[in-house]
Amino acid sequence: MKKTILEMNAITKFIFDEHGQPLRGTTVKILEDVHFDVKEAEVHVLVGENGAGKSTLMKIIGGIIPADEGEMLLDGEVITFAGPRESLAHGIGFIHQELNLCLNLDVAQNIFLGRERQKKLFIDKASMYTEAREMLLRLGFDIDPKTMVRDLSTAQQQIVEIVKVLSYDCRIIIMDEPTASLTKSEIDKLFAIIHDLRRNGISIIYISHRFEELKEIGDRITVLRDGRYIGTVDIEDFDYDKIISMMVGRKLGAMFQSSHQVQDEVVLEVKGLRISRNTEPINLYVRSGEVVGLSGLVGAGRTELGKSIFGSRTYYGGEILYMGEEIGGLHPSNLIEKGVIYLSEDRKLEGLVLDMSLKDNITMASLKRMYPKTKIDFKREEVVAQESIDKLNIVANSVEQICNTLSGGNQQKVVVAKWLLTNPKLLILDEPTRGIDVNAKSEIYKIIDQLASQGVAILMISSELPEIIGMSDRIYVMKRGAIAAELTDKREFIQEKILSHTL
Amino acid sequence: MKGLKISKKNLLIIAIVVALFIILGSLIPGFLSIKNLLNIVRQSSIIAIVACGMTMVIIIKGIDLSVTGVLSFCAMVNGLLLLKGWPIPLAMLAGLAVGTLMGLFNGLMVEKLGIPAFITTLVVGNVGGGLALLLNAGKSIGGFPAPYVFMGNGTILGVPVSNYIMILFVVVTSILMSKTRLGVYIYAMGGNETVVKQQGISTATINFFVYGFSGFCIAMAGILLSGQLDTVHPTQGEPYQLDAIAACVIGGVSMLGGEGKVYFALIGALIIGVQRNALNLLGIHPFYQNIFVGIIIIVIVALNIHQKRRTIEHSKIF
């Protein structure tokens, strides 16, 4: 029996306000009564949907945020970390999902940041380069430590980050989706490293969404759902369906509904539009009450097409007809007035003002329509926002809550609420369910279906094939900036078939 | 850091300097005379010394807008003490201490209260400007001891003393930035502050040092300037704020933070010095000169940002 080195009991984390102070009075908790433990020399995999609380739990272990309730024991002794540095000093390293590197420094400087080798007053660059080179080579990576991190590929940057954390002699290493940007051969190397580490008695907490990986490297799997601890299973008992049902808490299948009816009226027609000088022209149309899926690989030009239609990007020739009227060249604000809406894939950057309240965000795009006489009726604004919150089932304390403190799914609902308030006739959705949990997804699907029933034309860009297949009446597949295929027969809506058009 | 490796962009800067000298030399009689050239480098030394601190501040994504006021104030403190008969080193120390303290105050505001650098430095600069006026009821002072004036105006081996001091500042700053921990941290902070904090590096140390050092440089520039002119006027520091920022920008210090080398800020300072001198020789009123410098800054920063945007667009697939 392996020794337990880290144990967390009854960990609770409340949602917090803009100052990071916990809001204890609410029922909304990020983590509730969570148990977690790590044994010596094991790879403990943590799974759960987005928003399940995995990252929050890891941030508590990593000393980045404190737990509001519960205790953490390291080697049987209660411990709290005041900051990431302290956690690191206790042998806990954290490889973050977002890269934590200085792009303007070189590889060696990044690895040694904060503990530069010194020769008297000055830093000893020569020995730092040699050491960094050795570390990289030992792990099988041939990266010049003098390279600026900016000039590395994302995968190489990830490797630098991993090397950096490994160089701290940690006993526990947290890896938050480390393979997300790695290629197959790099993943193999990483797994070899992980096996090595485990052999040397080091424990790894591994967060991943790729099930095929888990069986290869995991010893135990813990499932979180909605901030709660669901259970831990040994890898020998790994069963795909069981883990899925633990994560989801219910059966899939009822996710997609279709109660809408496609009508004849063509709302959007794109003729011969080129999104770049050297791409093929694009033709497509969307009818009233129709959900049209726009599939394709990342970088196939789907977002560019969406933004071209919405007037927020220049394109190279072609016509865009909306209800028979040419709208090419119009500014987004004119289009919003006409009922054309584009819902950005990046809600944090382009969809929300994170520091503003729910209410302000929801009514933002409709202020002009709601109050043509410049004076804002705040009472009415509140009522309207509250209606949206109720209608879309947004989980929040009040209309005054700051969007930053909402979960991803709820933030996305706020964005949707904002645009619904403008009474759109054409809705271009760009990855409407990215990074949100299954429940919120299914609610978003319901909303899309309802909108289509009301006659709204919907063009849905999505990288998730089940979503495209489940929701669409028709599917366009994009490849290299052009339409590669149009699928009209629902019997053709098969993942393999769509994929074959994208590649 | 890679030291003084000459990239295409840097080569361009040097080419511009050479071209500037050739063109101006052929256009303006007397421009290339030894006397005038010495004049240019002497005048540029003030800009360059301020630019040493400014480079660091801009690298950590800050800006120091206290130059105008702090420079005048420190010069005034130092000058008044000299006239009171204080020994030169002591009076200078007092001036330098005042500048450093005002810089440290900026650092304190940025670090502890999170006040944006442009606000706190602007305020401190204005306070300094006010104090400079108050100290001597708005009047100029002059007639400093001969050794003091020599420091500003004299030459040793044909090179102005000011420029020895300037070189000392540039070399020390450069070594600090490229060879010490603190230098790495300053660049790191401009690159990604989150990492710096996570690594347990004290941002307070960095902020205090950088703003304090900037204040120190400004004070030194003020003292030298008063030596060069043998005068302290309470609004003497006025042109150097924009000039120093321009020197940094021309020298390739990115206003977006994290990038820049002091050596090139020095070249930037020379370009600004040449430009001012040429406009003077051409008989263009000094009032126009600030407009000129302003335009240079805007154009270069705009080009810089435009270029960055283009690289981002080009990195896409199509």
Task: Say whether pLDDT at A251 is over 50.
Answer: no
Show which of A248, A273, A294 is a domain's final residue.
Answer: A248
What is the rounded CA–CA span in Å between residue B25 and residue B20?
8
B-interface mutation test, from A18, A112, A113, most B Cβ less than 10 A away: A113
Give A252 to chain B, closest Cα distance, Å.
36
pLDDT (0 to 100) of residue B110: 93
- pLDDT, tens digit, for every residue of A82-102? 888 888 888 898 888 777 888
Model pLDDT for residues A464-480, shown as the tens digit of each residue: 777 888 889 999 999 88
Is A154 a member of any domain?
Answer: no
Q: Helices B262-281 and B8-27: crossing angle, nearest 10°?
A: 20
What residues does A461 pair with on adjacent strands?
Answer: A294, A430
CB A288 within 8 A of CB A452: no
The pLDDT tens digits for B197-220 are 888 888 999 999 999 999 999 999
**Is residue B207 a part of any domain in this protein?**
yes
Q: Are residues A431 and A503 in the same domain?
A: yes
A152 belongs to a structural domain:
no
Has residue A126 been placed in a domain? no
Contact A85 B317 (CB under 8 A): no
CB within 8 Å: A123 and B180? yes
Is A73 in the same domain as A61? yes
Which one has a higher pLDDT value, A485 or A369? A485
Question: 441-500 in A: which are within 8 Å (CB) of B?
Answer: 480-481
Domain contains A120: no
Task: Output the pLDDT for position A1.
Answer: 64
> Is A97 part of any domain?
no
Q: In this structure, what CATH number is given to the domain that contains residue B266? A: 1.10.3470
Considering A422, A452, A472, which residue would you say is the last residue of a domain? A422
- Predicted local confidence at residue A43, as pLDDT: 92
Tell me whether A126 touches chain B (CB under 8 Å). Answer: no
Tell me, yes or no, whether A86 and A176 share the same domain.
yes
Residue B18 forms part of a structural domain: no
Same domain for A377 and A474: no
Facing residue for A100 by CB, picked from B181, B187, B195: B195
Nearest-by-Cβ selection for B258 from A104, A110, A276: A104
User: Cβ of B259 under 8 Å from any chain A Cβ?
Assistant: yes
Residue B306 lies in a domain: yes
B202 touching A, CB under 8 A?
no
A84 and A8, same domain (yes or no)? yes
> What's the total number of domains in chain B?
1
Domain boundary among A422, A441, A467: A422
The answer to whether the CB of A231 falls within 8 A of the CB of A35 is: no
| Interface check A121 vs B, CB under 8 A | yes
Q: How many CB atoms lie within 10 A of CB B252?
A: 21
How does strand A203-207 pair with strand A43-47? parallel
B198 contact A CB<8A: yes
Question: Would you call B5 an interface residue with chain A, using a CB distance cutoff of 8 Å?
Answer: no
Residue among A447, A420, A455 at smallest CA distance from A261: A455
CB-based contact A122 B179, cutoff 8 Å:
yes
Residues linked to residue A119 through DSSP beta bridges, in sequence order: A122
B201 in contact with A, Cβ within 8 Å: yes
Q: Same domain for A174 and A82?
A: yes
> B33, B24, B1, B55: which is closest to B249 by C-alpha?
B55
Q: Is residue B26 part of a domain?
A: no
In a domain, residue B83? The reply is yes
Q: Is B187 in contact with A301 (Cβ distance < 8 A)?
A: no
- Domain of B199 in residue numbering reads as 32-317
The reply to whether A472 and A492 lie within a common domain is yes
Whether B141 maps to a domain, the answer reads yes
SS (H, E, C) B136-176: CCCCCEECCCHHHHHHHHCEECCEEHHHHHHHHHHHHHHHH
Same structural domain, A432 and A415: no
| Phi-psi sector, A272: left (phi>0), alpha (psi -120 to 50), beta | left
Say what the pLDDT of residue B255 is: 85
Number of domains in chain A: 3
Q: In the prediction, which pLDDT does A467 show?
A: 84
Question: Residue B208: inside a domain, yes or no?
Answer: yes
pLDDT in tens, A90-135: 889 888 877 788 888 999 999 998 888 888 889 999 999 999 999 8
Flag whether residue A154 sits within 8 Å of chain B, measured between CB atoms.
Answer: no
Residue B199, chain A, CB below 8 Å: the answer is yes
| CATH (domain of A483) | 3.40.50.300
Helix segments in A345-429, DSSP class H: 358-363, 367-370, 378-392, 408-420
Percent of chain A with pLDDT over 90: 18
Residue ranges for chain B with pLDDT beneath 50: 1-5, 314-318
> Per-residue pLDDT tens for A12-71?
888 766 566 776 766 667 888 899 999 988 999 998 766 678 888 998 998 888 888 889
Q: Does A103 fall in a domain?
A: no
Beta carbons of B200 and A88 less than 8 Å apart: yes
Contacts of A215 (CB under 8 A, 6+ apart): A235, A238
- pLDDT tens profile A391-406: 888 888 788 888 888 7
Rounded Cα distance, B197 and B194, in Å: 5
* Residue B98: C-alpha distances to residues A60, B49, B77, B213, B240 (Å): 44, 17, 8, 12, 18
In chain A, the N- to C-terminal Cα span, in Å, equals 48
**Cα–Cα distance between A161 and A183 in angstroms, integer?**
16
**What amino acid occupies position B78?**
N
Task: Tell me which of A18, A105, A273, A315 to substitute to probe the interface with B (most B C-beta atoms closer than 10 Å).
Answer: A105
Q: Are residues A320 and A371 in the same domain?
A: no
Range of the domain at A211: 4-91+169-248
